Amino acid sequence: MSIDAVMSNGNGTTAAVAPRSDTATVVVPEQLEPDTVSLAADLLSHLWSRPVPAEVETWAEAREVLAETHSLISSTPAREPVQLPESGEVAGLLDGYENLFVGPGQVPCPPYESFWREDVPVDIRRTLMGPCTAELKDLYRELGLQVSAGSGELPDHVAIELEALAYALASPETEGVARRICQEHLAQFVPRLCRAVTHDAESAFYRDLASLTLDWMAGIRGYFALAESG
């Protein structure tokens, strides 16, 4: 599974993993390997990325991997993870993405952590480039990563955070950074973002993706909880 990643390690290679709070209940899997958690984060990163044709092609290539990962990390593995679009549906999917996450006009569901954080002063709530953005830059720097200048995205875009999480989980030496990205960042805003997408999305794909993300994030958080208790 290959993409033009939005993260860069400065050496001309991608940082995506190759084959890329609220008080929600944390599911603690009995057996969940780091590779599975890393792959789950990578897959979610792809699915939350802007669905240009080349990106959507990678989703189709990952169909079997998606199903296998779902069977390992989901609390409802018998349920289909998400209905991937056919090639002729890409234009409509892109319209749905733009309407939800980009604009023009009022954006219902900005995909940025800064917008959804409520543990910040009132005057900077529902704004971009908040304190978490600088914190994430520091964490990415610990991983030897930076957001690609050509991506046009902010460091706290949900897809970028998930990509960095996947990268950090790929090595035991950086699992501490992975835990911080999950617990101090993703867990603090993804539930709110997903609830908003479920409410506002006209596209069934994005409603399903929101549900899938909540499901898998519970497994990811459970993985870290189990690691800490061990």
Does the residue 138 lie in any domain? yes
Q: Which structure tokens are listed for 183? A: 């617990």
Q: How many CB atoms lie within 10 A of CB 13?
A: 9
Does the residue 11 lie in any domain? no
> Could you report the per-residue pLDDT of 181-206, keeping only the tens digit for each?
999 999 999 999 999 999 999 999 99
Does the residue 78 lie in any domain? no
Q: Residues 169, 40: contact at Cβ < 8 Å? A: no
pLDDT band at 2 (very low <50, low <70, confident <90, very high): very low
Q: Domain range holding 167?
A: 30-73+87-229
CA-to-CA dists, residue 107 to 102, 120, 130, 196, angstroms: 6, 21, 18, 11
The helices-and-strands tally (H runs, E runs) of the chain is 10, 2
Higher pLDDT, 229 or 58: 58
Q: Which structure tokens are listed for 176? A: 């501490």
pLDDT at 4: 36
What's the CATH number where 207 sits? Answer: 1.10.3480.10
pLDDT at 38: 97
Q: Residues 41, 49: contact at Cβ < 8 Å? A: no
pLDDT band at 227 (very low <50, low <70, confident <90, very high): confident
> Could you report the per-residue pLDDT of 114-150, keeping only the tens digit for each?
999 999 999 898 989 999 999 999 999 999 999 987 7
Does the residue 163 lie in any domain? yes
Does the residue 118 lie in any domain? yes
Does the residue 60 lie in any domain? yes
Distance CA(218)–CA(223), nearest Å, equals 9
Domain count, the chain: 1
Does the residue 15 lie in any domain? no
Q: Is the pLDDT of residue 8 over 70?
A: no
Residue environment code for 33-68, b if the CB has 16+ CB neighbours within 10 A, otherwise e: eeebbbbbbbbbbbbbbbbeeebbebbeebeeebee
pLDDT at 30: 58
Residues 30-41, mean pLDDT to the nearest whole number: 89
Does the residue 215 lie in any domain? yes
